[in-house]
């Protein structure tokens, strides 16, 4: 509990004030792995020498990692990052030049945003460290119960799907493989886990450390040469039609190569293939002039992603239909399943999910939100969490982002003009807060923690209950850390994207939806249909033909921060694995697996090292996005 509380306070300071590599920031949080590494490299060897009885057992180390993992996202994108700055921003930034003062501010109730002008000025410009709690009480009394209801629903949904994905469909859970290797007991005569005694591991680890050492030194001392860590395609290809994709990232992250090696070949291939296909579609639209006619390749692909998520929900429901039936019968009191080993009794999980969703729905209705918008927001947001978990459990992506929002189907088919300005404003703030950025969302971390419990023989129910308690502990500590940072230093002096772009983004969308308004769009609707069709067709073809090379997962994430940063590394990881398996077979794959795990751990260790350097120098080198 002490470590969880410590990180709840430290993470906002690290990410916002020091601007280091995020301590959590993804679905394999740096802080969780580094704490685990300290225990297995320093603490446990010492205890085995001086007091063997006090050395930590693998199950205890696994429990430590899992309990740090579960609440890791709460201080930032998992809860507070997209609530606090945006709800303080409207009063602070509204002006005649952006029209927010006439189109949005009159329709913003005091339960939705902070309306005290002095309080919001202090939040962005500093207020001597004094937090005006009275100004925040009313909006927080709306946002916190709603967020808590979504967290409860997420926990219950994770419990309900766990057995299907873990025991029936046998998902890979690539993000659990490195922590699981680190908690393994040492071989006879050794002091470290077997992974850390293998030469290929140290080759990969050394490569990653050397790469980031050079890049980090170059960031501090530009005269020191270093390999280019981040470039864009536009640096090499210019002019028509390449300008359409000139912003494509060519970034180097060894850990992404390492994680890709752990995936199945078809998943790794599909991740980069669909991203490249989206890039080619941008060129096609540019070549034929369709963009100039108002047809956007970005829109078309974005709504294909929406359709793909809908297809995923259909497939998840269909593939698990027998499981859902047995779970519902168990919840109604019939002895269809033995749930004594589950994280929660199925009756508790089912009724917890139902009641939390009902509460959230009527909480929104009570505030005057349209019933259609409230219902679609809850359904699609939980669907997004399910999709992010499905992707993370299969793909091993460090973060899942899709550049789509829960109300996109509503805007595409019905437009926004039929909804009141207050409904529109509330819609975009809700979507920004709970569904825009899934890089630290709770559900994948819950499932990864439960998978670690399976691998190490930990009782799931106590683990989950302790995890929920740590979430409850983390929430207020992180809130206090955020507000103290803002009122001490001023948001404008903290991490720029959080306090600048992300504070205006929902309002930019809202003001366009109010005037001139979003019209129903047949291209977007067609995109949803195409995405749904491609996803379901790929899934059906994979069931019919064993060697079908495309996995539909790639379509869902082909646009988003994760694939934009990692696509090239995913390609290299896929290529290396394909070559190794083709020429060396399974033996070569297993023999080189430690090398690729070394790449992953090397990145995480260097993120921690440069984070510590950043504390001293107040200058940062960011290892991971």
pLDDT of res. 187: 83
Task: Enumerate residues 6+ apart whose C-beta is below 8 A from 468.
Answer: 70, 155
| Average pLDDT value for residue range 15-38 | 91
The average pLDDT across 172-177 equals 91
* Nearest in space to 438 (alpha carbons), one of 391, 474, 472: 391
Mean pLDDT of the region 332-345? 85
The whole-number pLDDT of residue 540 equals 87
Residue 601 has pLDDT above 70, yes or no: yes
CA distances from 142 to 106, 109, 149 (A): 19, 11, 11
Phi, psi of 444 (to 5 degrees): -60, -40
Least confident among 193-197, 228-232, 296-300, 396-400: 296-300
In the chain, how long is the greatest CA-to-CA distance? 75
| pLDDT for residue 338 is more than 90 | no
pLDDT at 415 over 60: yes
CA 259 to CA 448: how far, in whole Å?
A: 15
How far apart CA 220 and CA 229 sit, in angstroms, is 14
**How much is the pLDDT for 287?**
82
In this structure, the number of other CB atoms found within 10 A of the CB of residue 68 comes to 24
pLDDT at 290: 65
Whether 369 has a pLDDT exceeding 80, the answer reads yes
pLDDT band per the 50, 70, 90 thresholds, residue 254: very high
Contact 224, 366 (CB under 8 A): no
pLDDT at residue 534 tops 70: yes
How many Å apart are CA 488 and CA 116, to the nearest integer? 18
Least-confidence region, from 157-161, 176-180, 285-289, 621-625: 285-289
Dihedral sign computed on CA atoms, order 220, 226, 228, 230: negative
Mean pLDDT of 432-460: 94
Query: Which whole-number Å values give the CA distances from 374 to 418, 424, 427, 437, 508, in the listed order?
Result: 15, 11, 8, 19, 21
| Per-residue pLDDT reduced to its tens digit, 371-388 | 999 999 999 999 999 999
Three-class secondary structure of residue 341 per DSSP: coil
Domain coordinates in residue numbering, the chain: 2-617
Q: For residues 172 and 154, what is the distance between their CA atoms, to the nearest angstrom?
A: 21
* 86-137 residue pLDDT tens: 999 999 999 999 999 999 999 999 999 999 999 999 999 998 889 999 999 9
Q: pLDDT band for 11, please (50, 70, 90 cuts).
A: very high
State what percent of residues in the chain have pLDDT above 90. 66
**pLDDT mean over 58-73:** 95
DSSP conformation class of 13: I
Q: Predicted confidence band at 621 (pLDDT cuts at 50, 70, 90)?
A: confident
Q: Is the pLDDT of residue 5 over 70?
A: yes
State the pLDDT at residue 281.
86
Among 157-171, 247-261, 455-469, 533-547, which is the least confidently predicted range? 533-547
Checking phi first, is residue 129 left (phi over 0); if not, alpha (psi -120 to 50) or beta? Answer: left
Nearest CA to 429 out of 113, 107, 123 is that of 113
Cα–Cα distance, 69 to 470 (Å, whole number): 10
Mean pLDDT of 500-508: 95
Residues 325, 346: Cα–Cα separation, whole Å: 12
User: What is the 3-state secondary structure of 441-477?
Assistant: CHHHHHHHHHHHHHHHCCCHHHHHHHHHHHHHHHHHH
Q: What is the pLDDT of residue 295?
A: 61
Averaged pLDDT, 135-161: 97
Q: Among 32-36, 58-62, 182-186, 559-563, which is the least confidently predicted range?
A: 559-563
Q: What is the pLDDT of residue 89?
A: 96
* CB-CB contact of 423 with 369 (8 Å): yes
Evaluate if residue 292 carries a pLDDT over 60.
Answer: no
The whole-chain average pLDDT of the chain stands at 91
Give the per-residue pLDDT at 421: 95
Predicted pLDDT at 293: 54
- Please compute the mean of the pLDDT values over residues 145-154 and round it to a whole number: 97
Considering only residues 243 and 11, tell me which one the structure prediction assigns the higher pLDDT.
Answer: 11
């Amino acid at each position: 509990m002490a470590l969880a509380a410590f990180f709840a306070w430290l993470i906002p300071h690290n990410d916002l004030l020091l601007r280091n590599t995020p301590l959590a920031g993804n679905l394999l949080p740096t802080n969780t792995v580094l704490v685990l590494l300290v225990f297995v490299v320093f603490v446990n060897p010492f205890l085995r020498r001086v007091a063997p009885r006090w050395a930590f057992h693998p199950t205890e180390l696994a429990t430590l990692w899992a309990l740090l993992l579960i609440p890791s996202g709460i201080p930032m994108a998992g809860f507070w990052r997209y609530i606090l700055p945006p709800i303080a921003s409207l009063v602070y930034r509204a002006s005649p030049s952006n029209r927010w003062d006439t189109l949005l501010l009159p329709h913003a109730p005091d339960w939705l945003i902070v309306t005290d002008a002095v309080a919001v000025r202090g939040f962005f410009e500093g207020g001597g460290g004094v937090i005006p709690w009275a100004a925040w009480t009313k909006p927080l009394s709306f946002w916190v119960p709603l967020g808590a209801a979504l967290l409860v629903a997420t926990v219950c949904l994770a419990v309900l799907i766990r057995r299907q994905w873990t025991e029936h469909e046998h998902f890979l859970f690539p993000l659990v493989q490195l922590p699981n290797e680190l908690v393994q007991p040492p071989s006879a005569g050794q002091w470290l886990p077997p992974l850390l005694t293998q030469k290929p591991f140290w080759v990969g680890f050394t490569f990653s450390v050397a790469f980031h050492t050079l890049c980090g030194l170059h960031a501090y001392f530009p005269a020191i040469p270093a390999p280019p860590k981040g470039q864009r395609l536009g640096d090499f290809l210019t002019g028509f039609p390449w300008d359409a994709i000139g912003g494509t990232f060519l970034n180097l992250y060894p850990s992404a190569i390492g994680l890709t090696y752990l995936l199945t070949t078809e998943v790794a291939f599909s991740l980069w293939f669909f991203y490249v296909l989206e890039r080619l579609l941008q060129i096609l639209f540019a070549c034929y002039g369709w963009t100039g006619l108002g047809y956007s390749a970005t829109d078309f692909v974005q709504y294909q992603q929406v359709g793909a998520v809908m297809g995923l929900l259909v497939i998840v429901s269909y593939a698990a239909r027998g499981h859902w039936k047995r779970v519902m019968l168990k919840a109604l009191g019939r002895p269809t399943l033995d749930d004594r080993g589950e994280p929660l009794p199925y009756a508790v999980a089912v009724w917890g999910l139902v009641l939390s969703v009902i509460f959230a729905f009527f909480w929104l209705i009570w505030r005057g939100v349209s019933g259609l918008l409230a219902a679609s927001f809850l359904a699609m947001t939980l669907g997004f969490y399910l999709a992010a978990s499905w992707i993370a459990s299969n793909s091993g992506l460090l973060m899942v982002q899709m550049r789509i929002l829960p109300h996109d189907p509503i805007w595409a088919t019905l437009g926004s003009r039929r909804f009141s300005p207050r409904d529109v404003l509330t819609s975009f703030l809700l979507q920004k807060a709970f569904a825009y950025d899934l890089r630290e969302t709770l559900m994948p971390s819950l499932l990864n923690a439960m998978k670690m419990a399976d691998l190490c023989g930990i009782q799931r129910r106590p683990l989950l209950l302790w995890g929920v308690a740590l979430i409850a502990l983390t929430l207020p500590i992180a809130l206090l850390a955020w507000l103290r940072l803002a009122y001490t230093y001023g948001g404008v002096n903290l991490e720029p994207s959080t306090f600048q772009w992300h504070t205006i983004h929902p309002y930019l969308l809202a003001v366009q939806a109010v005037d001139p308004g979003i019209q129903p769009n047949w291209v977007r609707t067609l995109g949803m249909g195409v995405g749904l069709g491609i996803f379901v067709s790929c899934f059906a073809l994979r069931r019919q033909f064993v060697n079908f090379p495309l996995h539909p997962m790639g379509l869902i994430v082909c646009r988003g921060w994760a694939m934009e940063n990692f696509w090239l590394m995913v390609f290299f990881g896929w290529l290396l694995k394909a070559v190794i398996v083709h020429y060396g077979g399974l033996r070569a794959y297993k023999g080189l697996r430690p090398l690729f795990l070394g790449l992953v751990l090397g990145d995480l260790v260097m993120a921690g090292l440069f984070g510590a350097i950043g504390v001293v120098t107040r200058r940062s080198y960011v290892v991971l996005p």
